[in-house]
Each structure stands twice: as structure tokens, then as C-alpha cells.
Structure 1
Amino acid sequence: MKLLIAYIQPHALEAVKEELSKRDIAKMSVTNSLGCGAQMGYHENYRGVEFDVNLLKKVRLEIAVNDEFVEAAVESITKAARTGEIGDGKIFIIHLEECIRIRTGQKGPEAIG
């Protein structure tokens, strides 16, 4: 079992969800996030005050999958979110030691579904 954490551009979310759905991956958590990386932000002028915006809007996806779905999930996310520009995002893959479905008490791969 693995936990995929992906940071993507907000405009790519719908396309990523569609690609994941095509591969029967539908369970995920989505959170709005702020972050900085190679994009380095931008300079803005608001009501005569100049300031730097270095925390840019991103979307964080958390997807728990069984091992046989890891590659399909990664391919779906990269296919839908890649523009070739700086700021497309990152995917982190973390080993999940255990998963427990609260409603049924199921454990392990069966709990992920």
C-alpha cells in the first residue's frame, strides 16, 4: 500500500480527476495549498504598494492505493498535469504501513478498496 501526495496546478485538477477515473481510481482527498519552488513567485503592485508574492496557489491530492495501482495513478497524474513549464508540480510516494476502514474495521488492502 502506498500514499501518493501530489502537488499540482489548480487548473489541472479536473483533468487529473478524469484521468484517474479512467483507471478506476476515484478515492482521494483534495486540499487547497500554498507553496513555493522553482517558480519563485512574482512581483505585484496593489494600490500603490509593491510586494512580492512567493507563495503560489497549488492543489494537494492525497491518494491511498494498493501496490498494483501505484504506476497507473502516477501516469494519470503526470499525463493530466504536465504542461512542460516550471510549476507543474511534484508527486511523493510514501509506504503505508496500515490502513483501517473505520466503518467496517477492515484492515490493509481491503480497507483501501
Structure 2
Amino acid sequence: MKRIQAIIRPFKLEEVKTALLNAGIIGVTISEVRGFGRQKGQTERYLGSEYTVDFLGKVKIIVVVEDEQANMVVEQIMAAARTGEIGDGKMFISPVAQVVRIRTGEQDSDAI
């Protein structure tokens, strides 16, 4: 199994969710996060004063899927989240050793 963690722009969340649902992925975890990378911060203006926002708001999506589905999920997220501009985000794919459903005790594929 693979854990796919994607950091994307907030306004792309609905498109990514729709793409994943259309691909048959039903279990997704979403978190609002803040950070910076090559995009760095951005300059804002409030009441005539300029200030820099160092940490930009992003959305973190976590999906755990079978190994065979991982490339398809990565492609779906990339296609839905891409704008072509700096700040589109990143994905991190890592192996998952075990999954356990707390309610039933089901494990691995049965628990996804």
C-alpha cells in the first residue's frame, strides 16, 4: 500500500476531490496547512500598510491506496491541481506497512 500526501492550492480542492471520486477513491483526509517554498511569501496591503505573508495557506490531502492504484491517483491529483504556476504544490508518496480499521479490526486492503 502507498500513502500519497499532496500539498495543493486551496481553490483546487474541489477539482481534486471530484477527480478522486470519479477515479473510485472514497477515503480522503483533508487538512488546512501553511508553509512556504519557492513561491516564498506574498506582499499584502491592509489599511494602507504593506506587510509580507511568509506562510501561505495550502491544503494537505492524504490518500492511502493499493500499490497498483498509486500512479493513477498521483496522475489524477496532478491533472486536477496543476495551474502551471509556482506554488502548485508537491506530492510525497511513501509505503504503508499496515492499516487497521479501529471499529472492526479489519486489516490492510480490507481496512482501506
* TM-score with structure 2 setting the length: 0.94
Per the TM alignment, residue 100 of structure 1 is displaced from its structure 2 partner at its CA by 0.2
Point out the more displaced range, 64-73 or 43-52. Answer: 43-52
Give distance in 2, aligned partners of 1:47 and 1:9: 26
| Cross-structure match for 2:91 | 91
| Cross-structure match for 2:55 | 55
Give distance in 2, aligned partners of 1:41 and 1:107: 42
Unpaired runs of at least 5, structure 2: none
| Cross-structure match for 2:15 | 15
Identity score, percent: 44
Give distance in 2, aligned partners of 1:97 and 1:29: 18
Point out the more displaced range, 28-37 or 47-56. Answer: 47-56
Give distance in 2, aligned partners of 1:27 and 1:83: 25
User: Which residue identity is paired with 2:39?
Assistant: Q
Unpaired runs of at least 5, structure 1: none
After TM superposition, list the pairs within 5 Å mapping 1:1-113 onto structure 2. Answer: 1-112=1-112
Q: Secondary structure at the match of 2:57?
A: strand
Alignment RMSD:
1.1
Q: Secondary structure at the match of 1:4?
A: strand
Give distance in 1, aligned partners of 2:18 and 2:43: 34
8 Å Cα contact 1:17-1:26 kept in structure 2: no
Give distance in 2, aligned partners of 1:84 and 1:45: 26
* TM-score with structure 1 setting the length: 0.93
